[in-house]
Chains A and B, each alone.
Chain A
Amino acid sequence: MRKDGGPRHILVIDDSEVLLSRIKKALVEDGHMVTTTTQTVGNARLLTTVDLVIIDYHMPGINGLAVLQAMRAAAAHLDHEPLFYLYTSDRHVSGTYADLGFDGAFPKGDETVLVQQVRAVFRLSQIRALAQKERPAATSEQVLASNRISGTMSERPPSTGSIPKPREKKQ
């Protein structure tokens, strides 16, 4: 839940309607607001209200990396950049999510696991925001690092741990 009491908004991009339907059902039942799409372009307009973007990696004709890059470019001017998570069953790809520019990776397959992990992502962002409040003023480097690592629409605390790994912003 957001600070304003509303549900978190999650955007899921996958080429499978069936999978999107299952993911949406599971996440909506867990109290999130979910937008699903099979379109790999034209989603930038949604970024202003989205907290988390889940992107399939292997999609016909395009991979998740290209989608990520496009959306990151679109989100660069936003005050609140959403988190971008990779959604794949390819362990090799998921192991390199940070290098690819994602904030983290979810294993593809079991929606109940996905629900748990989405919960954990939002919890983690809140915990880091709280930890930031409890701590003395952070240095500008820490703030920048936090923005890269774990920010959400409304909370951009610095990381206190190593996961998700800090990513380099793609230019």
Chain B
Amino acid sequence: MSRLLRMTSLGTKLALATVGVLSVISVLLYLQLTSREQQHLLSAKTTAAGMVTNLFAASLAAPLDFGDAEAMETELGNLRSNPEIIQAWIWSLGPTDPITRLHRDRTLAQEPPPTGLDVGTRMLADRVEVSRPVFGRSGQPVGKVAVVFSLAAENAAFVANRTRIFWWTLVMDVATAFGLILIARLQIILPLAKVAEGARRLEKGDLAARVDINSADEVGQLARAFNTMGEAIADREQRLDAARQSLRDLFDHMGQAIVAFGPTGTIEGEVSRQASRLFGGKLGGTRVRDVLYRGAPDGDIDAQAFEEWSNVAFRVRPAEWAEFATLAPAEIVLNREGEEPVPLELEFRPVTKNGKVVRVMLLATDVSQQRALERTVQSQEEEHARQMAAMRRLVAGGPQVFVMFVDSARQRIARCVEIVGPEPRMLLSGEIDELFRHVHTLKGEAAAFDLRDLQSQSAELEEELDELRSEARGEGFATTDAVHDRLSAQFKHATEALERGCEVFVAASPTGRVALDQVTVQRSDLLELLAHLGQRNDELGHIATRLASRPFGESTANLVDLVPTWADKEGKRARLQVEGKETRVPAHVARILGGALTHLIRNAIVHGIENPDARESRGKSPIGLIRVIAAEGESGPMFTVEDDGQGLDLASIAQQAVAIGETVGTRPIEQLAFLPGLSTARMGDLAGRGVGLHAVKSEMETVGYKVDVFSKAGEYARFVLRPKDAPYDGNAFAGKEARQHA
């Protein structure tokens, strides 16, 4: 029933209520009117009957007083003229039977006079019975009369009136109902329907939906409230649209693929343009695992790890998200059908509500260009390393050969450029053959020195010249009209390739650029010269000493390649940087310097450089840097070995010193590092035997050098080898750390 009521329209309910109420009112009105009509008719009849009976009783006073029967009959006869009188009786005083009677028809003749009727009026359904006393001349009762009046006429009139009342009531009822329903429809139903229609349009997104109702009543107020609400919604929608568009623009221009997924692991809501481009088509409802690990075989451990991560993600408290996010895949390779795989860097951020993670936003960045660049750089680095290695081999075998090659190559290229000339011209076969020979030799020599660029350029030139030589074979000459510009450009590129080779050579050379200006002399001759003149303190002696000195770079030549290998053995990463390669080192110092540097560098790797994780956690590069620096000084060259590691472990040094029986506290702890037999490292290939620093100190002292050590915890350790009488200001390097002398 209640459901039926809910389903019924307001108009129908109002109409039904109106009809119902009006029907009840009409019935009551009808009953009231008919009752009044009846009362009115019967009242008039009663009054008339009473008056007629009174007159009849008065006319019988004399006949009854005198016993005049004839007169009584005459009076009864007079009653006959009144058609509404159907019966009448006359009694004399005393007897119970009437003296005479009147009957309108025979059917009434046997009917007895009314009983129980004394003097008065009695109303029955079809008649009115009236009885009155008859008074004689003396005013004393002499008899009684009773007259029965028919109500047929009144009843007929009542029926006719009742029918009329019924129809009038019905007509009024219908008219009133119609009027009320019409008013309700016009004033309430239709305006409400307009408001409802407006709400429906608004719901469908028609933000311009308004209701045109101008009345001032409650419905009008409702319409105005609706219109105001519509304007507010339109305004808010516009602002939301603008915000959404801004967000969308932001998403689309972030260059990241952005999607969000819920606890079911399926993608929900908006996705960025980049996400559609990377992951393809419709992503809504797709499992994010299937998107990221498309085509992954069953049992793929990466996909499984992600799936379990995403299951746990929605149980993680937001405050713990940062740590939890580290368990998510940081990078994947996205496989796409028919396209190149795309490396993606992934980032996961929680969307929280009421302190719970309700969605996870995935930001995927296409790093294919970055990776390609890294590969290019790596390949260039590898090429550079290859060239450097080749050059070091060359240097080890004698740099003068390369210097000679460079000179001859420059001369060959210059000669070729001269032959080709500034403008196209006719070349004789002999000139072309000479060009070809130069280029061919250049190619072979470039290959010998592993100068691939120059070798490649020479090979191209050789092919070009070979064709030119073929052209000249018949005529004895060939013009360079078609190839002049190309030849000129290729010789220019060859020159550039040669110069690049020189730079690599200089970089690889332990003596730096000086190598290009060196000549070869026999060591025995030099040592003999030094033996004769080296003790002299004059100019000649100084020249002899300088001639016998060795460039500092020679002492470190093999260390550059060894340092990464040594570090690798320790599970670390490190590189060596050499500065001051050209610095001249006296022969007697150079003799022991290589060994001392080797000790200090290995010491730096074992004790100083941290493992890559520890370095990164301290904000350092995972690759440790060991710098070896030589600088000229008035008393002789000074050398520094410095690493950017954790510095000296002073506590451990002190502990070890005590362990070997030394007294701690009388001298700076750093100085204890040079004690014989002291080592803070486990014994290994590189260090830990407790002889390295002591040996360095002792060895350097034999050539008049002392060793200073400086250290700052977590930042560096520096060993300085300097002539005993050379001043050194440690602050110039590292600030306020204490300077200690060994």
Contact = CB atoms under 8 A, between A and B. Distances in A.
The judgment on whether A and B are partners is: yes
B308 interface: yes
A60 interface: no
A56 to B, nearest CB: 18
A167 B311 CA distance: 23
A105 to B, nearest CB: 8
B301 A120 contact: yes
B308 A124 contact: yes
30 contacts: A7-B611, A28-B571, A33-B571, A104-B299, A104-B301, A105-B299, A116-B302, A117-B301, A117-B302, A120-B302, A120-B329, A123-B305, A123-B327, A126-B327, A127-B305, A127-B308, A127-B327, A130-B312, A130-B324, A131-B308, A131-B311, A131-B315, A134-B312, A134-B316, A160-B308, A160-B311, A160-B312, A161-B304, A161-B307, A163-B299
Given A127-B327, A128-B308, A134 B315 contact: yes
Interface in A56-103: none
Contacts of B328: 123
A3 B307 CA distance: 23
Contacts of B324: 130
Interface in B295-329: 298-302, 304-305, 307-309, 311-312, 315-316, 324, 327-329
A104 B327 CA distance: 19
Max chain A Cβ within 10 angstroms of own Cβ: one of B301, B312, B613: B301
Interface in B556-575: 568, 571
Contacts of B331: 116
Interface string A4-36: 000100000000000000000000100101000
B507 to A, nearest CB: 25
Contacts of B305: 120-121, 123-124, 127
Contacts of A138: none
Interface of A: 1, 7, 28, 31, 33, 104-105, 116-117, 119-121, 123-124, 126-128, 130-131, 134, 160-161, 163-165
A132 B327 CA distance: 15
A104 B312 CA distance: 22
A131 B312 contact: yes
Contacts of A131: 308, 311-312, 315
Contacts of A28: 568, 571
B612 interface: yes
Contacts of B571: 28, 33
Given A31-B612, A163-B299, A123 B307 contact: no
A130 B327 contact: yes
A101 to B, nearest CB: 16
Contact of A31 (B309, B332, B613): B613
A160 B324 CA distance: 17
A126 B312 CA distance: 11
A105 B301 CA distance: 9
Max chain B Cβ within 10 angstroms of own Cβ: one of A33, A121, A127, A161: A127
Contacts of B316: 130, 134
Nearest to A150: B308
Interface string B280-308: 00000000000000000011111011011
A165 B298 CA distance: 11
A126 B308 CA distance: 10
Interface residues of B, number: 25
A25 B302 CA distance: 21
Nearest to B330: A119
B568 to A, nearest CB: 8
Contacts of A116: 302, 331-332
Contact of A121 (B301, B327, B612, B613): B301
B319 to A, nearest CB: 14
Given A31-B613, A161-B304, 20 more contacts: A1-B613, A28-B571, A104-B301, A105-B299, A116-B302, A116-B331, A119-B329, A123-B305, A123-B309, A123-B328, A123-B329, A126-B327, A127-B308, A127-B309, A128-B308, A134-B312, A161-B307, A163-B298, A163-B299, A163-B304
A33 B571 CA distance: 7
Contacts of B299: 104-105, 163-165
Nearest to B307: A161
A161 B312 CA distance: 12
Nearest to A128: B308
A127 B312 CA distance: 7
B308 to A, nearest CB: 5
A151 to B, nearest CB: 15
Contacts of A120: 301-302, 304-305, 329
A121 B316 CA distance: 20
Contacts of B308: 124, 127-128, 131, 160-161
Nearest to A112: B333
B37 to A, nearest CB: 89
Contacts of A124: 301, 304-305, 308
Max chain A Cβ within 10 angstroms of own Cβ: one of B302, B308, B613: B308
A22 B332 CA distance: 21
A116 B300 CA distance: 11
A2 to B, nearest CB: 11
A127 B329 CA distance: 12
Contacts of B613: 1, 7, 31
Contacts of A165: 299
A2 B211 CA distance: 69
A46 B465 CA distance: 65
Contacts of A123: 305, 309, 327-329
Nearest to A160: B308
A119 B611 CA distance: 19
A131 B308 CA distance: 9
Contacts of A7: 611, 613
B611 to A, nearest CB: 8
Nearest to B302: A120
Contacts of A104: 299, 301
B296 to A, nearest CB: 11
| Shortest 6 CB-CB contacts between residues of A and residues of B | A124-B305, A120-B305, A120-B302, A163-B304, A120-B301, A134-B315
Nearest to B315: A134
Nearest to A28: B571
Nearest to A116: B302
A161 B310 CA distance: 12
Contacts of A105: 299
Nearest to B611: A7
A7 B302 CA distance: 20
A149 to B, nearest CB: 11
Contacts of B300: 163
B312 A164 contact: no
A134 B357 CA distance: 14
A1 B612 CA distance: 12
A124 B303 CA distance: 10
A141 B710 CA distance: 60
A128 B301 CA distance: 13
A127 B63 CA distance: 135
B316 to A, nearest CB: 8
